C-alpha cells in the first residue's frame, strides 16, 4: 500500500466538501476488478479531484489511468494531486466535456476498462461514445446506479429534478440490462455498481 494516510486525507477532504468521490468499498471493488483482469489501461469519465484515479494507479500494478474532467477547479486540483503523488507518468488527465471530447486525443486506446462516474443523466451517451475504445474482452464499470437507494422507490421522490434524474438512471439500467450485446452484473456495493462485458460470440 502506498501513502495510505495521504490518500485518506484526500478522501476525507473531498467528502467534507461534498465532492462525490467513490465510496471506500466501491473503489476497493473497482480495484479488485482491475486486478482480476490484470488491466494495464483504464479510461475514467469524471475525475473530480483525482481520488479514484490515484487509488487505481497506486493499487493496480502496471496500470495506466486516463481520466476526463469537465469542471475547471476540480481539474486543477486533480492535476496538483496527481503531481503530488508523483503519478504524472501513470495518469493522464484531460480537461474537457467527455461528451464533446475529440477521441483522437485519447492516449491509451484500446482500454481494458472503461469506468463511468460522471453526470448520471448522461450514462448511456458516455457508454455509447466510449465503448468502441474498450478491448473485446474488456469491462465497463458504472457507478451510482442506486442513487442512494432512491432508484427502488421512484414514486415517493418529491423533488422534481431528483425524480427526473433517478428516472434517467433507471432508464440506463433497463437499457443496458436488456441489451443483447452485453452481459451485466449488478453489485449492491457503495452506491450500486454494474460490471458490463460483451457477450461471447458463438
Binding site for Mg ion (CB under 5 A): 117, 143-144
CA distance 47 to 175: 25
Among 37, 99, 121, 154, binds ligand SAH (CB under 6 A): 99
- The CA distance from 30 to 23, in Å, is 11
CA dist 111 and 130 (Å) reads 10
Sign of CA pseudo-dihedral 65, 112, 19, 190: negative
144 binds, among ligand SAH, Mg ion, none (CB under 5 to 8 A by kind): Mg ion
| Residue from 69, 77, 112, 146 in contact with ligand SAH (CB under 6 A) | 69
Q: Site residues for ligand SAH, window 10-39 (CB under 6 A)?
A: 20-22
Name which of Mg ion, ligand SAH, none residue 118 binds, using a CB cut-off of 5 to 8 Å depending on partner kind: ligand SAH
Kindly tell me which of 33 and 144 has the beta carbon lying closer to Mg ion.
144
With CB under 6 A, what is the number of residues at the site for ligand SAH? 20
Q: 131: closest CA among 109, 107, 164? A: 109
Amino acid at each position: 500500500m502506498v501513502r495510505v494516510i495521504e490518500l485518506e486525507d484526500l478522501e476525507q477532504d473531498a467528502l467534507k466538501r461534498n465532492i462525490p468521490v467513490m465510496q471506500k468499498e466501491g473503489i476497493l471493488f473497482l480495484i479488485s476488478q482491475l486486478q482480476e483482469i490484470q488491466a494495464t489501461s483504464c479510461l475514467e469519465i469524471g475525475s473530480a479531484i483525482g481520488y479514484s484515479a490515484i487509488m487505481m494507479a497506486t493499487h493496480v500494478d502496471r496500470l495506466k489511468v486516463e481520466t476526463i474532467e469537465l469542471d475547471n477547479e476540480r481539474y486543477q486540483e486533480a492535476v496538483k494531486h496527481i503531481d503530488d503523488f508523483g503519478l504524472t507518468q501513470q495518469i493522464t488527465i484531460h480537461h474537457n466535456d467527455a461528451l464533446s471530447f475529440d477521441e483522437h486525443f485519447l492516449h491509451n486506446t484500446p482500454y481494458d476498462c472503461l469506468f463511468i462516474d460522471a453526470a448520471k443523466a448522461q450514462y448511456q451517451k458516455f457508454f455509447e461514445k466510449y465503448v468502441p475504445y474498450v478491448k473485446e474482452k474488456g469491462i465497463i464499470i458504472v457507478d451510482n446506479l442506486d442513487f442512494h437507494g432512491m432508484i427502488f422507490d421512484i414514486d415517493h421522490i418529491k423533488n422534481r429534478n431528483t425524480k427526473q434524474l433517478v428516472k434517467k438512471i433507471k432508464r440506463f439500467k433497463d437499457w443496458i440490462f436488456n441489451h443483447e450485446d452485453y452481459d451485466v452484473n449488478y453489485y449492491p456495493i457503495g452506491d450500486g455498481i454494474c460490471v458490463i462485458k460483451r457477450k461471447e460470440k458463438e
